[in-house]
Amino acid sequence: MYRTVCVFALLRVFVLLVVLAGKPAAANELAQQAFEVLNSRCFGCHGQRFSVPDFNIRDHEGLLAETNAYIVPGKPEESVLWQRVGIDRDMPPLKHSPKGLPAVELETIEHWIRNGAPKWDAVPERTPITESEVLRTINNYLSELNPNDVSSMRIFSLTHLHNNPTVSPAELRLYRAALSKAINAMSRGARIVVPKAINDQQTLFALDLRQVGWDGGGAWSEVLSEYPYGLAPMQDEERDLFVRIRKLYGEFEFDGIAYVRADWFAAVATNSQRNGLYHTLADIPLTLTELSQRLGIDIPANFRNGTAKRAGMSKSGVSTQNRLIEVHNQGALWISYDFKGQAGRSSLARFPLGPNFSGNVFSQFAFRHDGGEIIFELKNGLHGYMLVNSAGERINDGPIEIVFDKNLTSGNPVIVNGLSCIACHREGLQPLRDDIRDGHARRFVAAAHDKVRQLYLPKAEMDDIISDTNERFVRALEEAVGPFFEEGYDVKRNEPLSFVAAAYDRDIDITMATRELGILDQDASIQQRIRDSADIIGFGVGPLGDDDGVVKRRFWESDLDAGVSVFQRMALEFARGSSVVH
């Protein structure tokens, strides 16, 4: 019998687990690592829908059964799963993952099989949380607050992910951490604010907008204007609870939305290519000049007096051209100068003393750059980001001919302000090398040579500045995301926002669609209704009527009619709620 091991790659990979290197991990740790990969990649097809009869990816004993040979302990090359995933590479199906499983996940699976395929811990079944329970929890929480504080409180929800059996406990921890990191990465406040879990399952989180500086100026209203999942309940019990929540906020204070999805907020609000929320919430100004003035830093003066410090490199991880990094005030502000080419005044070796500005006495040796990335310290210790053009004007994303994101954090190589920068700088500033201090072409012009030596630091000195900067950053990062991870988890290496961004943008199957709509354990009947309804098919969601059918996330949240998203129209069709549009 032809055995098919269909491994759905619905996520663009996030490295959930540390790369296996050196001595083997303990058997239990290795088993859990393998489980996380198999569960996230396979369970939707082999456990949720059973595309191959009786093949359940969570059934360790069944995987190792001799009659199936899905897994032959110690022999990956004889294991059907590995043959399809790691050797033939015809699974995952091309339509879901053209590049197959990422190398780190393949290494995890092969390592697990080769070391005897040890058994993982049993996965406890999660009890689904109904919409009524969600609204009741929110109502009870708000009822206990000082009435003067209610209007500033907002709720985030991960309930639809908790209710989705394909989402593992480890992934839920990443979602929680990503929410906290997103909030604090855009905060205007002076300290780290960890959102408060208001239920035992840790699927509902409260945030006081005043603590992050989003309580004035229409910042939160702008968030809701982009939100495609707002609903007013239609079922009696849910509607009654919704009315109570509205009364607690006050008729004129309530914005019509009881909670915002945490995955949407983390993935979308941080992505400046999708909307302007990152710039709004983090209060990123329109120009580098305005930002430096806010920080009390005089960039030209620091060049003239030599307190600006630099490292210039022939190429970097985000560009094939040369690149210059400049730091001000011992790490308060970092500026990259980026170039389209390396000829003429784009060459740092020949023109190391730019940019040209009024008062630059070395203008004949000044480079001409094409744009840059700005990193600056937020009040809470994390970093804010800004991309600019050659004139220092804020832009949403970096031109691909200048810089690129090799990690495809936003789903493509474009570096988008916010998300791409947060993911890349997961540990703070990247290590820098310098090719200019001892390699520039102006060594025979005494004044220029001395200026280069003043600005371009020896590596050890730049390393010290980076170390101090990153120490402050990591302290804040651990405070923001550490509470959501188990002891010993490396918060620097494992970046939750990039995982959530990839997870959020994956194709939507029937299980994901129903859980997002708040419909539990009715996938087959919902599929039948989709197939039978010309109106629903007319929304463009007909593929969800098929067992392996999917729709794109961008389509699911797109405007179907008069500001109403496809999701909201589906919610109305299945009596889950009427749309709330801002």
pLDDT in tens, 514-566: 999 999 989 999 999 999 999 999 999 999 999 889 999 999 999 999 899 99
Structure-block tokens of residue 84: 């399809």
Q: Are residues 259 and 345 in the same domain?
A: no
Structural domain span for residue 547: 510-579
CA atoms within 13 A on the CB side of 112: 30
* pLDDT surpassing 80 at residue 41: no
Is the predicted pLDDT of residue 19 greater than 70, yes or no?
no
502 domain residue, yes or no: no
Does one domain contain both 141 and 103? no
Query: Within the chain, how many helices (H) and strands (E) appear?
Result: 24, 14
Query: Residue 513 and residue 530: Cα distance in Å, rounded?
Result: 12
CA dist 56 and 63 (Å) reads 8
Question: Tokens 């920068």 belong to which residue?
Answer: 421
Tell me, yes or no, whether 306 and 451 share the same domain: yes
Residue 525 exposed, middle or buried by CB count within 10 Å (0-12, 13-18, 19+): exposed
Residues 326 and 429 in one domain: yes
Q: Show the tokens assigned to 181.
A: 């990191």
Q: What are phi and psi of 156, to 5 degrees?
A: -115, 145
Q: Are residues 260 and 306 in the same domain?
A: no
* 279 found inside a domain: no
In a domain, 489, yes or no: no
| Together in a domain, 240 and 304 | no
Domain boundary among 460, 476, 492: 476
Same domain? 46 vs 168: no
534-546 pLDDT per residue, tens = 999 999 999 999 9
Nearest alpha-carbon partner for 258 in 242, 238, 244: 242
Which pLDDT value is given to residue 307? 98
Asked if the peptide bond before residue 355 counts as cis, ω within 30 degrees of 0, the response is: yes
Select from 435, 457, 443 the least CA-distant residue to 312: 435
What is the rounded average pLDDT of the residues 117-142? 92
Q: Report, as an integer, the average pLDDT of 273-288.
A: 96
Q: For residues 353 and 360, is the Cβ–Cβ distance under 8 A?
A: yes
- The verdict on 465 and 431 lying in the same domain is yes
Residue 124 lies in a domain: no
DSSP letter, residue 46? I
**Which residues share a beta bridge with 328?**
333
Pair 70, 58: CB distance under 8 Å: no
Confidence class for position 11, pLDDT limits 50, 70, 90: very low
Ranking 289-293, 403-407, 572-576 by mean pLDDT, the lowest is 403-407
Q: What pLDDT is stored for residue 12 in this prediction?
A: 32
- The verdict on 102 and 162 lying in the same domain is no
Query: Which are the contacts of 6, defined by CB distance < 8 A and separation ≥ 6?
Result: 42, 45, 46, 51, 52, 91, 92, 93
What would the pLDDT profile of 66-101 be if each residue is shown by its tens digit?
777 899 999 999 999 999 888 888 877 765 565 677
Looking at residue 11, its amino acid is: L
Q: Give the confidence band of 1 by pLDDT, cuts at 50, 70, 90.
A: very low
Evaluate whether residue 408 is within a structural domain.
Answer: yes
Yes or no: say if 334 and 429 are a contact pair by the CB < 8 Å rule: yes
Which domain-ending residue is among 85, 114, 143?
Answer: 114
Is 446 inside any structural domain? yes
Please give the tally of structural domains in the chain: 4
Q: 74 in a domain, yes or no? A: yes
- Region 427-443: mean pLDDT is 93
What single string gives the DSSP state of each residue in 492-543? Answer: TT--HHHHHHHHHTSPB-HHHHHHHTT--S-HHHHHHHHHH-HHHIIIIIGG
Please identify, among 237, 269, 301, the residue that sits at the C-terminal boundary of a domain. Answer: 269
The Cα angle at residue 474 between residues 469 and 477, in degrees rounded to 5: 130
Residues 309 and 446 in one domain: yes
Q: Are residues 421 and 520 in the same domain?
A: no
- pLDDT on residue 95: 54
Across the chain, what does the average pLDDT equal?
90
Which tens digit of pLDDT belongs to each residue from 297-329?
A: 999 999 999 999 999 999 888 988 999 999 999
Alpha-helix runs per DSSP H in 286-338:
288-295, 299-305
- Of 200, 135, 131, nearest to 163 by C-alpha is 131
The answer to whether residues 414 and 319 belong to one domain is: yes
In a domain, 119, yes or no: no
